[in-house]
Amino acid sequence: MEEKGKQERVQDAVDQLCNALDILGLESSVQALDNGCLKRIAKSLAIDYDDVVDNDAWNGINHALVKRVLACGGSSSGGVGSREEEEDRSSKLTPETPERDEPTKTATQKQTPSAPAGVGDDAPSLPVGYKVPEVWNGVQGSGADGGIFGSQNRADADAREERELPVGDHKYQLYSIGTANGIRAAAMLEELGIEYDAWYIDIMKGDQFTTGLMQLNPNAKVPAMRVKNEDESESSFRVFESAHILLHLAETYPERGLVPADQAGRAECLNWLFWSASTTPVIGFGFGHFYRYGPIKIAYAIDRCTMELKRQLSVLDKQLTGRSFVVGESMTIADICIFPWMYALEAGYKAAKFLKLSEYKNVERWMASMLQRPAVQRGIRVNGFAPDAIRERHSPADFGDADN
């Protein structure tokens, strides 16, 4: 019974690989299915390699896998090939006797530590048979376009269009879109109750790569903000990176107390501000990309990013134990910085069930409290995507009479 169960597990793995090959339409994949296929089966099931090679059932499974790969276009010519070619390849991949290419080491010989699983030239790859080149020359192969957002990226920092940014009447000119980072800046400005102009930057159309935006942020990211000097005694200046926008505004209006005045409180606030900035790639460019937007679903990538994201959720949940807000009983820029990305997990990535967000009770309570704040509600609407979103914001009246 145990032997049959192991064979069924191998067959399931074979079927999954064949399905992946069908989807990706790979060519020349047969080169990757060498004797290592059987070695990995043996290793994963903790079975002696000799037992795998001598087992007719497993050799039959491996033979079926080779035939399936050939049917997917795995021959060097891109076609199925003749029966003789198929049998020849199959015999090479399922030898009757194992290779003995490692000499037996004596007890006195120095043992070389083996690399961790998944490290080295023989690590499994997707697409099957992919080898890391010595020099990277650009994305290639199935799904390499990067999906809905990644396909816009290039390996250079050049502007792609000559176009100036619009400028309004207020001191603060915000150029943004209602993503998590955009919500940070808009919610902060609304919380302060100061006047500003918010201009919609359509990142799907490449607005971030115009000369005007890249003069404001050479990294071609939003939000970015220009601060106009109203008395013209000094020139205007730029502030980019959303966490920096929060810190700049909080320091400009210290009376609002969004950064604690005492040294210890300020240090703790900045601890969590920069914690949030450092976790953004985990949530957005890691989990969000592979779970929601990636052109192909890769189990390893999703699992790896999910594990780290849930660890960070646990970190935040523990920090909120016995606290109304991240740093204590008063809201700070740490809360404004962290909240939008937690909000994006459910509203943007639709991952509440997948991540079991309801298990993080302190985060859930804090999120509900943040969502009750009028400034946060307005910040979500500015340059946003929901039916009640406002594409541009130039005065409080833009929100409608109910919000004034």
Do 222 and 323 have their domain in common? no
Q: How many CA atoms, within 13 angstroms, populate the side-chain half-sphere of residue 125?
A: 20
Number of domains in the chain: 3
Q: For tokens 């607005």, what's the residue? A: 207
Whether residues 252 and 277 fall in one domain: no
Q: Are residues 24 and 86 in the same domain?
A: yes
Is 145 part of any domain?
no
State the angle between helix axes of 56-71 and 36-44 in degrees (0 to 180), rounded to the nearest 10: 130
71: tokens are: 């049917």
Scanning 320-386, the segments in alpha helix (DSSP H) are: 333-347, 352-355, 361-371, 374-381
Q: Show which of 44, 76, 93 is a domain's final residue.
A: 93
Phi, psi for 393 (deg, rounded to 5)? -125, 125
| pTM for this prediction | 0.72
Q: Are residues 301 and 337 in the same domain?
A: yes
Q: Are residues 264 and 366 in the same domain?
A: yes
Q: Is residue 126 part of a domain?
A: no
Whether residue 94 is predicted with pLDDT greater than 80 in this model: the reply is no
Q: Is the pLDDT of residue 142 over 50?
A: no
- Taking 80 as the threshold, does the pLDDT of residue 331 lie above it? yes
Cα gap 240→237, rounded to integer Å: 10
Q: Note whether 353 and 274 are same-domain residues.
A: yes
Asked whether residue 127 is domain-assigned, the answer is no
Give residue 173's pLDDT band: very low, low, confident or very high (50, 70, 90).
very high
Q: At CB < 8 A and 24+ separation, what contacts does 112-117 make?
A: none
- Using an 8 Å Cβ cutoff, are 191 and 375 in contact? yes
pLDDT(338) > 70: yes
- Report how far apart, in Å, the C-alpha atoms of 97 and of each of 39, 48, 54, 315, 353 are: 13, 14, 8, 52, 49
Confidence at residue 126, expressed as pLDDT on a 0 to 100 scale: 80
CATH number at residue 292: 1.20.1050.10
How many Å separate Cα 304 from the centre of its chain? 10
What span, in angstroms and rounded, lies between the C-alpha atoms of 328 and 346?
A: 25
Look at residue 2 and tell me whether its pLDDT is greater than 70.
Answer: no
pLDDT at 104 over 80: no
Cis before residue 127, ω within 30 degrees of 0? yes
Segments forming the whole domain that contains residue 331: 259-372
Q: What is the rounded average pLDDT of the residues 272-293?
A: 96
As a whole number of angstroms, the longest Cα–Cα distance in the chain is 86
80 and 178 together in one domain: no
Instruction: Answer yes or no: do 317 and 343 share one domain.
Output: yes
Residue 143 lies in a domain: no
For 54-88, b/e burial (b = at least 16 CB within 10 A) is ebeebbebbbebbbbbbebbbbeeeeebeeeebee
8 A C-beta contact, residue 224 and residue 240: yes
Q: Exposure pattern of 363-396 as b/e (b: 16+ CB <10 Å)?
A: beebbeebeebebbbbbbbbbbeeeeebeebeee
Average pLDDT of span 207-218: 98
* Angle, CA 106 vertex, CA 102 and CA 110 arms, to 5°: 85
Strand 172-176 relative to strand 224-227, pairing: antiparallel
Pair 244, 296 in one domain: no
Q: Same domain for 244 and 171?
A: yes
Supply the pLDDT for residue 131: 87
What are the b/e assignments for 239-266, b being 16+ CB within 10 Å?
bbbbbebbbbbbeebeeeebbbeeeebe
Inform me whether the pLDDT recorded for 79 exceeds 60.
no
Residue 114: pLDDT band (50, 70, 90) is: low
Q: What percent of the chain has pLDDT over 70?
A: 65
pLDDT for res 123: 80
Beta strands in 85-207 (DSSP E): 172-176, 196-200
Query: Could you tell me if residue 105 is inside a domain?
Result: no
Same domain, 242 and 344: no
Q: Residue 112's pLDDT band (boundaries 50, 70, 90)?
A: low
